[in-house]
Amino acid sequence: MISSEASSSNGGGGESVVVDVGRRRSTCGYCKSGRRTSISHGIWANSLTVYDYEELLDRGWRRSGYFLYKPELEMACCPAYTIRLRAQDFSPSKEQIRVSKRMQRYLDGMWDGKKEPADISGNSHGRTYDSNLSDSSRLESGGSNEQKTKEEELMGYLSKQIDNALQSFVKDKNLPCDIQYPQSIVNKISQTKKRRLVRGSEDLLYTSNISFQIAAILRRAKSDENNVLLSRGKKESLDEQSSMTIMDGSSYDLSPKYISEELTNVLQDLVKVPEISIQACNGHLNFYSAVKGGHSDEEFHLVAVSRESSAQKSKECDVIRDKLQRKERRLEIHLNRSAFDPEEFSLFKKYQINVHNDEPDEVTEQSYRRFLVDSPFIYVPPSGNETVPPCGFGSFHQQYRIDGRLIAVGVIDILPKCLSSVYLFWDPDFAFLSLGKYSVLQEISWVKENQCHYPSLQYYYLGYYIHSCSKMRYKAAYWPSELLCPLRYKWVPFDIAKPLLDRAKYAVLSDYIDMQKENSSSIQESGKLLDQQNDDLGDGDLNDFCVGGDDFNSSDEEMFPEINELAADPIQNDVGRLQLDLRGTRVKYKDLQPGLRPADRMPLEKQLSRFMTVVGPELSEKMVYSLG
């Protein structure tokens, strides 16, 4: 359950205590004009609930450590609009699909990163299998190539159904959802291997050892949890939880044999191929030909022709030899609570120096902590029901490792209704993998997968979108996205907002009705054109921006080098309802007001009124306004 200190006014999770630091000027970091035309409202959050921060996101705010800021778009040379995506509606572009395939080929050892791999479908046996591709796009000339392509399609289909069965198995058995499960691979049983097997295996076509991998991962997760309990001095509770505490008290046989039998039961309903039967055998998932005399390849149309010419056999030997020489790699993705990690800082420093050309002495541990480690959020632990995921709500670092080497870190905020990307830094030695784009796809997938169990998680926030900056336009390629109207705080589909932004840098996006009628034809084509434009963009420095990296400087003072308090807004709100923090005591301003001198009351009320305007009347009344 949520913390007992929960406040009913904000839906649980404590209270938000903030300090208003006013409005500040800064140099625009996008157009490099050198003009100090960027003006932002600033708040320092001593503590902040995830629920209140979500409301701030929906009013154009972002955070850098404890510091929250909201740009004044109408006064900026490069207006920054909040952009988000409903994860369930996401439709990947051709370029985004290529990024996933490129990563998979690198992991499979089919590409060393030195030159672009050939775009061949099916080599990953389902991990990048696209069931929407037409048959004509996959088939090659020649009978044997056509048979091979069909066989690869079948293996891809079976792999996909195993992945679906695994999701059902994880949910039904209440297994942990916050660990990275392997993607299945279905392998063909060669004629040579069939002869080595026991009698009755003539009809065996394919097999998968996914159950052994799942069992190993669950055992490792259990071991990690036991180590945590031991480190906390709870050794006495291990005997009670050793059956499998990471499964919320449920206990199951985690042997490969049990897992394969459970997956087989689910697959019986998922696999819609009459010629295929499925059986579990000593932990393996085996697929047999259900056709009478199934060992005859001519009767089963998705198996290659049994008799091949000597030239074809020689080519097959070359393929087998090439596969044996491949160096397969292992990708692991770990989600950790936000905390300082020397290995992560070392990678961050390397990234800033090589990608952003920072001087080594500029990238300090202190600036890194303030920017990417410090977080004002009051952590919301797992609830054990369908409201909070196993990782909880708060700030996290998502590590990407290949064969144990840290190659990228995504800094993210996981909130009740969304995942908000903060920043991504990656190893420049792996720039060829387009890690920025790949991490976005992974984060969108995380939201989609968790929404099945936690319905409130729906959105993916990409940070700010700047239409006037060509390097930032790629964010809209994650379709279908929507932009936040800076005046009325309504979400407007990007395809509708685009014609407005084509005309002017700053626009009240909710005034789109007339534009929609006037530009109905251009709106329909905008998404396609944007995707084509982004296909031509390089992967160099774009990747970090795709998770909000546009908001960083090494410290708050550098972020706003010239601090100017502008003219205060006139009093236009009922500030008496605001709750103030006065030396640790909570008091309503209306109760404090009679004891203030007029000379002190007027500036304070203007400050409070401005705070209510930029934060919103309802949210400002939930928060505690600290007077310092």
356-411: pLDDT as tens digits: 999 999 999 999 999 999 999 999 999 877 789 999 999 999 999 999 999 999 99
Give residue 291's pLDDT. Answer: 66
Of the chain, the percentage scoring pLDDT greater than 90 comes to 44
Provide the residue type at 325 as one letter.
Answer: Q
pLDDT at 4: 32
pLDDT band at 203 (very low <50, low <70, confident <90, very high): confident
CA distances from 2 to 384, 415, 571 (A): 10, 14, 38
- Phi (first) and psi of residue 279, to 5 degrees: -140, 150
Nearest to 460 by CA among 468, 471, 449: 449
Structure tokens at 177: 């959802």
Q: How much is the pLDDT for 449? A: 93
Can you tell me the distance from the alpha carbon of 256 to that of 215, in angstroms, rounded to the nearest whole number? 6
Determine which of 185-194, 215-224, 545-554 has the lowest per-residue pLDDT on average: 545-554
Calculate the average pLDDT of the chain.
78
Give the long-range contacts of residues 53-57, CB within 8 A, separation 24 or more: 53/377, 53/413, 53/415, 54/415, 54/416, 54/417, 54/418, 55/616, 55/619, 56/615, 56/619, 57/82, 57/415, 57/418, 57/420, 57/461
- Number of residues that make up the chain: 628
Higher pLDDT, residue 282 or 92: 92
Radius of gyration of the chain (CA): 28
Long-range contacts of 195-202 (CB under 8 A, 24+ apart): 202/294, 202/295
pLDDT of residue 83: 97
Residues whose CB is less than 8 angstroms from the CB of residue 198 and which lie 6 or more positions away in sequence, other chains included: none
Q: Which domains does the chain have, with CATH numbers?
A: 8-93+330-510+545-559 (no CATH), 117-325 (3.30.1360.70)
Which of 97-101, 264-268, 347-351 comes out lowest in average pLDDT? 264-268
User: Between 458 and 170, whose confidence is greater?
Assistant: 458
319 vs 548 pLDDT, higher one: 319
Higher pLDDT, 530 or 172: 172
Which phi-psi region, left, alpha or beta, contains residue 189 (left: φ > 0; alpha: ψ -120 to 50)?
beta
pLDDT of residue 33: 56
Amino acid present at 71:
P
Q: Where are the beta strands (DSSP E) in 154-199?
A: 187-188
Alpha carbons within 13 A on the beta-carbon side of 300:
25
Rounded Cα distance, 585 and 592, in Å: 12
Q: Contact 320/302 with Cβ under 8 angstroms?
A: no
pLDDT at 126 over 80: no
Tens-place pLDDT, residues 428-464: 999 999 999 999 999 999 999 999 889 999 999 999 9
Output the CA torsion 510→511→513→515 (10° steps).
-120
- Higher pLDDT: 141 or 178? It is 178
Residue 624, judged by CB atoms within 10 A of its CB (0-12, 13-18, 19+), counts as middle
- CA dist 347 and 432 (Å) reads 17
Percent of the chain's residues with pLDDT above 70: 70
Two tokens at 66? Answer: 């404890």
pLDDT, average across residues 263-268? 89
User: Higher-confidence residue: 5 or 11?
Assistant: 11
Could you give the CA distance from residue 105 to residue 434 in angstroms, rounded to a whole number? 13
Give the separation between CA 547 and CA 527, rounded to whole angstroms: 21
Whether pTM > 0.95 for this model: the answer is: no
Identify the residue with better confidence: 626 or 202. 626
- In this prediction, residue 217 carries a pLDDT of 84
What is the pLDDT at residue 150? 77
